Every structure is written in structure tokens, then in C-alpha cells.
Amino acid sequence: MHTTVTIRTDRGLRKALQDRARAQRKTVSEVAREILRTALEERPLQLRTGHLRGRLALTTDQNEAWRRALRERNWRR
């Protein structure tokens, strides 16, 4: 059973949706359904953020004064 959902968008969003549909050779409805399905999919945090693993690289020499001040204010030491 199919139902209809009506949403209001601004012109920019509508154009972006139409452009994506045209590029994928799909209807606007198909693209909107795929986007909604992906957005509503429940995934564990690890799967949603796994691509970030190992991306943060901190150097020890930069901002040493900032690090020292942070350590001094950290009540959990």
C-alpha cells in the first residue's frame, strides 16, 4: 500500500532534488524515498562514525600553553 506525503521546500532544495534525480535518471519521488530511508535508518554509533577513526592527529609541541591551562583546570586529574 502506498501513501502520499506532501512536504514544503524552498526553491533551492527543490532544484537540488530535481538535479540529483536527473543525474541518477530517477524520479524525484524515488530519490526522496531513498534519502528518507537512509536518514531514518537506525545504525549503531560505531557504524555512523567509523569513517572518522584515526583522523584526529594532535601534535605535542603546538599550543602547549593551552594544554597546560587545560590540565590545570581539569578537576579529574
Show the cell assigned to 49: 562514525
Tell me how many domains the chain contains.
1
pLDDT at 50: 84
pLDDT at 65: 80
65 domain-assigned: no
15 domain-assigned: yes
16 domain-assigned: yes
Q: Are 32 and 17 in contact (CB under 8 A)?
A: yes
b/e code 7-18 from CB counts within 10 Å (16+ = b): eeeeeeeeeebe
pLDDT at 24: 97
Domain that holds residue 27: 1-44
69 domain-assigned: no
Per-residue pLDDT tens over the stretch 5-64: 999 999 999 999 999 999 999 999 999 999 999 888 888 888 888 888 877 776 666 677
5 domain-assigned: yes
12 domain-assigned: yes
Contacts of 9 by beta carbon, 8 Å cutoff, 6+ apart: 17
28 domain-assigned: yes
pLDDT at 77: 56
pLDDT at 20: 96
